[in-house]
Amino acid sequence: MGYTHYWRWNFTNSKLLDETWSRLVEDTKAIVKAADIPLCKSATPGVPPVIDVTNGIHLNGADSDDYEDLFFHPELDRHHNEFCKTGERPYDVVVTAILLRASMLFGSAITVSSDGHWADWQSARYLISELWPEEEIECLFESDEEDEDDESLLK
């Protein structure tokens, strides 16, 4: 059984969707670059991940570090699973950072959950705090709110 992250889109404002989605796509490019983890599209060696406004975000770990694809797009997700099993492979930090950033940008328009705990998202939280140091990171999981104030997790 794989370690899995879930999301659910809750859109009512298409203008917010268009503007914020474009920003998330650009921010995802920054996350991928900063994470410096080998990625590909659909576990296909040599094929780079897809990260664009029209086709969405489609990536997986490269070579033996692959597990399941992340396919992430607010309008196309209804035709795909709204979850990604990473098996805690190295690309998990990229997946969790993208989901965390999506939650920061979209707010209540997306709900994110995970088989893991907030502490398991430490690397993603650190990556996001390095890229956007002025922005607050809030705990995504109600049951883990006690971890939210533990600044040592970010070090």
pLDDT in tens, 135-147: 999 999 876 655 4
Q: What is the pLDDT of residues 108-140, one digit of tens each?
A: 889 999 999 999 999 999 999 999 999 999 999
Q: Where on the phi/psi map is residue 88: left (φ > 0), alpha (ψ -120 to 50), or beta?
A: left
Question: Is the pLDDT assigned to residue 151 strictly greater than 50?
Answer: no
